[in-house]
């Protein structure tokens, strides 16, 4: 009960950060389904869904307009304009080129310590993933400057 209540609290706190976000995912079919369902359930749009094989029936259920059978090059092409890239550590170059934050998940994750111990299932794992992604969105939020909010702030007054 406690972990379920914690997940409900996380969903309540975190859902503001997910609504309307465009997510680009590259993963194996089962993980692609799980991640796309997770993000769609929190109000995000799956802008790109890339996987390695069409030999899985679960792909029919992925909540995306289409699923591309391809590689990280395909993901990079499809991810233009996305708010978050979700894939393994080899996606870091695409993330840098596109200037899109990367959530590392899947295999391999070789540039983060302890990734093999992260729980990504059940109430606790889902709760932690909500917090992780919401924190990524917060860290990459581009807040307007005071000048942008008040264009008359620095005007000169002629006398």
Q: Which runs of consecutive H residues, i.e. helices, occur in 42-155?
A: 72-78, 92-98, 122-139, 146-149
Asked if 24 contacts 79 with a C-beta cutoff of 8 angstroms, the reply is: yes
Residue 22 lies in a domain: yes
pLDDT digit string, tens, across residues 39-58: 999 999 999 999 999 999 99
Residue 116 lies in a domain: yes
CATH code: domain of residue 72: 3.40.50.1980
Residue 83 lies in a domain: yes
pTM of the model: 0.84
pLDDT digit string, tens, across residues 54-102: 999 999 999 999 999 999 999 999 999 999 999 999 999 999 999 999 9
Total domains, the chain: 1
Residue 91 lies in a domain: yes
Residue 97 lies in a domain: yes
Q: Residue 129 to residues 52, 54, 61, 62, 117: CA-CA distances in angstroms?
A: 23, 27, 21, 19, 13
Residue 156 lies in a domain: no
Rounded CA separation 55/53 (Å): 5
Domain that holds residue 70: 2-149
Token pair, residue 52, equals 């390695």
Residue 17 lies in a domain: yes
Residue 129 lies in a domain: yes
């Amino acid at each position: 009960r406690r972990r379920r209540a914690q997940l409900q609290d996380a969903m309540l706190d975190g859902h503001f950060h997910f609504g309307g976000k465009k997510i680009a995912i590259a993963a194996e079919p089962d993980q692609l389904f799980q991640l796309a369902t997770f993000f769609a359930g929190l109000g995000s749009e799956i802008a790109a869904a890339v996987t390695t094989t069409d030999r899985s029936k679960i792909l029919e259920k992925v909540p995306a307009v289409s699923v591309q059978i391809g590689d990280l090059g395909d993901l990079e092409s499809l991810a233009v304009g996305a708010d978050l890239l979700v894939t393994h550590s080899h996606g870091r170059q695409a993330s840098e080129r596109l200037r899109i934050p990367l959530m590392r998940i899947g295999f391999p994750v070789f540039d983060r310590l302890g990734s093999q111990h992260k729980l990504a299932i059940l109430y606790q794992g889902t709760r932690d993933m909500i917090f992780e992604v919401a924190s990524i969105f917060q860290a990459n939020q581009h807040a307007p400057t005071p000048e942008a909010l008040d264009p008359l702030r620095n005007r000169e007054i002629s006398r």
